[in-house]
Amino acid sequence: MTTPGIIVTNLTKTFPTGPKKRMTALDAVSLTIDQGSCLAVVGESGSGKTTLARIIVGLETPDSGEVAVNGEPVAARANRKELRRRARDIQMVFQDPQSSLNRRLPVRVAVDEVLRAHSKLSGAARRERCAELFTLVGLETRFLDALPSELSGGQKQRVAIARALAANPAVIVLDESVAALDVTVQAQILELLAELRISQGLTYLFITHDLSVVQMIADQVVVMRKGAIVERGTTTEVLTAPQHPYTRLLLACAPRPGWKPQRGMIAKLREEIAS
Amino acid sequence: MLDITTLSLTIGPDRQILRDVSLSVAAGEAVGLVGESGSGKSMTLRSILQIEPTGSEVTGSITLDDVDVRALRGEELRRMRANDVSMIAQNPHAVLNPVLPVERYLIEGMHDAQGQPTRTARLRAGELLEQVGIDAVDRVLRSYPHQLSGGMLQRVVIAGAIAGKPRLMLADEPTTALDVTTQAEVMAILDECRHELGMAMLFVTHDLDLAAAVCDRIAVMKDGEIVEIGLPEQLRDNPQHPYTRTLMESRPAGITWTLEGDTTP
């Protein structure tokens, strides 16, 4: 039940910001995600949450630290075979589905390319698998040959999820994957993701700034600020009994029924964070 | 004060963007226009200032204190936009000139007959920034847009929008591009300024809870029509239209967090 799916140990990453100047995007970040669970990483812009996601999927190399998936460490300078395996095991779904689709090609191609890279299926078998994956993400198979422009934002995000699933991954990293969608569509995609997690035995790392989204999908939460984790716990713990003043600030600022923005309280919490 | 009556807007031969939109805003009242993308909420705002896309066919009427704002032309239209109605949009970078310090944006309208900034212009700009909760007034006045954060820039834009003491503020998703903590601060400031000046506001957003926090009434839009209009708590506790219900249900059902300072537990 609590086999670790992902173990991140002491990840540090800095980026150059000028001659002899570097900014620390991640400062010794460690976390564990249990197999089959969903961990939400919450933070504002500049908190380092996207850098963390990009290192885990292998789009960035950390300065130091380690990532292990299903017990096997993913070396910082992996060889081609290891990179290929990581690409299969960990997939990513981005905020803008357009970024993983070619606007001149039918959306099926995005899924097909992944099948071609990670399986030995024949053309006909891949076509069949594409149709299966579309059905799995709740898209009618008539959309297989549609162009991205013929689909709505929610439908495109479903294609992006089908594309991620095509690799048969153990982990999916979702970087603000519902942030650009309308709330009604957002709810549908979150529901789909929750179903897939169970039916496909997936582990999720969900990057988001939206506490409502956290509440709807995550079991565990880490709160990040300026490259470091300031609080972690189960979703219920963090949302109902926040310990760190920054978590309290985030909660105090999240619109919800009965909420009013209050400058006094915001200023007070900001002072607490600074001290 | 503002009366929109059976406003319809069509682009080209068959794209109907707005369908019989009727809405009124009383003096000093804040009304939220809530809907998803493509529902027509921004287009309703733009029709008021006559900044809808070229080639739009508009029918119906919009009056501001019984003046037909759709019929205004030239100098009269300019005066309405300068004195009576101001607008804040989502992206402050699109409003501020990147090669001029923000001071120039704020004192733009305050020139004397010789084209020189009036002696009081700079003082007034400082006052405006103080009004939107900026402490380091001198530093901000000298800064260029790229040197300031999004939240700070949006405050500068609000300062500019309230400079002419307008009767009506049109706000089109003014905090959508901001982080959640900055959003709360900017909304609080906007709300305070609105009350101080007794300004009416038409507030476009996709966030029902955000609208409920600062608006007296809320209109829910879908596919170019207003499907329901009511008090925030009416919409929350007793939504009449199925679409309003869908919107409410799209957010988490059991709100688990309440903090000191929440108005309702």
Domain architecture of chain A: domains with CATH: 4-100+170-241 (3.40.50.300), 242-275 (no CATH)
Contact (CB, 8 A) for B60 and B5: yes
Q: Provide the pLDDT confidence category of residue B215 given band limits of 50, 70 and 90.
A: very high
Domain of residue B100 covers 2-249
Q: Which of A42, A213, A256, A270 to mutate to test the interface with B (most CBs of B within 10 A)?
A: A256
Residues of A within 8 A of B212 (CB-CB) are 257, 259
What is the model's pLDDT at position A231?
96
Count A/B contacts: CB-CB distance under 8 Å: 100
| CB of A261 less than 8 A from some CB of B | yes
d(CA B77, CA B67): 11
Of A93, A98, A110, A206, whose CA–CA distance to A153 is shortest?
A: A98
Question: Is residue B262 domain-resident?
Answer: no
CA distances from A69 to A94, A259, B77 (A): 20, 41, 63
Residues of B within 8 A of A153 (CB-CB) are 37
d(CA A204, CA A217): 10
Q: Contact A265/B261, CB-based, under 8 Å?
A: yes
Residues of B within 8 A of A263 (CB-CB) are 133, 185, 188-189, 192
d(CA B129, CA A2): 54
Tally of structural domains, chain B? 1
Both tokens assigned to B15: 């794209």
Q: Which of residues 194-233 of A touch B (CB under 8 A)?
A: 209-212, 215-216
Question: Is residue B255 domain-resident?
Answer: no
d(CA B38, CA B204): 12
d(CA A93, CA A207): 10
Burial class (CB in 10 A: 0-12, 13-18, 19+), B91: middle
| Long-range contacts of the stretch B175-178 (C-beta < 8 A, 24+) | B175/B210, B176/B90, B176/B205, B176/B206, B177/B90, B177/B91, B177/B150, B178/B150, B178/B151, B178/B154
What is the model's pLDDT at position B133?
85
Range name among A239-248, A258-267, B138-147 with the lowest pLDDT average: A258-267
The radius of gyration of chain B from alpha carbons, rounded to an integer in Å, stands at: 19
For residue range A82-121, list pLDDT tens digits in order.
777 777 889 999 988 888 889 899 999 999 999 998 888 9
Out of B191, B246, B252, the one facing A215 most closely (by C-beta) is B252
Out of A215, A248, A257, the one facing B212 most closely (by C-beta) is A257
CA distances from B7 to A121, B31, B224, B226 (A): 57, 17, 10, 11
What is the model's pLDDT at position B258?
59
What DSSP line would sit under A64-129, residue for residue? Answer: EEEEEETTEEE-TT--HHHHHHHHHHEEEE-S-GGGGS-TTS-THHHHHHHHHHH----HHHHHHH
Q: Provide the pLDDT confidence category of residue B260 given band limits of 50, 70 and 90.
A: low
d(CA B25, CA B1): 6
Question: Is residue B263 domain-resident?
Answer: no
| CB of A191 less than 8 A from some CB of B | no
Both tokens assigned to A214: 């956290």
The residue among B29 and B134 whose pLDDT is bigger is B29
The torsion defined by the Cα of A132, A136, A139 and A143, in degrees rounded to 10, comes to -20
**β strands within chain B, DSSP E:** 2-11, 15-25, 30-35, 56-64, 67-68, 85-88, 168-172, 200-205, 217-222, 225-230
Average pLDDT, chain A: 90
**Percent residues over pLDDT 90 in chain A:** 63
What is the model's pLDDT at position A111?
95
Q: Say yes or no to pLDDT of B265 above 50.
A: no
Question: Is residue B265 domain-resident?
Answer: no
For residue range B49-73, list pLDDT tens digits in order.
999 888 889 999 999 999 999 999 9
CA distances from A74 to A10, A36, A62, A77, A225 (A): 14, 19, 12, 9, 26
Out of B246, B251, B257, the one facing A240 most closely (by C-beta) is B257
Residue B208 belongs to domain with CATH number? 3.40.50.300
Q: Provide the pLDDT confidence category of residue B263 given band limits of 50, 70 and 90.
A: very low
Predicted TM-score (pTM) of the model is 0.85
| CB of B195 less than 8 A from some CB of A | no
d(CA B212, CA A258): 8
Contact (CB, 8 A) for B57 and B10: yes
Question: Is residue B86 domain-resident?
Answer: yes
Both tokens assigned to B88: 């804040």
What is the model's pLDDT at position A220?
96
Average pLDDT, chain B: 87
Q: Say yes or no to pLDDT of B105 above 60.
A: yes
Contact (CB, 8 A) for A130 and A108: yes
Contact (CB, 8 A) for A206 and A218: yes
Residue located via tokens 């309003």: B244
Average pLDDT of the residues in A75-81: 68
Q: Contact B263/A252, CB-based, under 8 Å?
A: no
Question: Is residue B39 domain-resident?
Answer: yes
| CB of A186 less than 8 A from some CB of B | yes
Nearest CA in chain A to B234: A257
CA distance A81 to chain B (A): 40
d(CA B173, CA A246): 25
Beta-carbon count within 10 A of A121 CB: 14
Q: Which of residues 12-71 of B touch A (CB under 8 A)?
A: 36-37
For residue range B7-23, list pLDDT tens digits in order.
999 998 888 899 999 99
Q: Which of B196, B259, B260 to mutate to test the interface with A (most CBs of A within 10 A)?
A: B259
Q: Contact B214/A184, CB-based, under 8 Å?
A: no
Nearest CA in chain A to B191: A261
Give the torsion sign (CA, B256, B258, B263, B265).
positive
Question: Is residue B257 domain-resident?
Answer: no
d(CA A3, CA A71): 9
Q: Say yes or no to pLDDT of B124 above 90.
A: no
Question: Is residue B226 domain-resident?
Answer: yes
| CB of B209 less than 8 A from some CB of A | yes
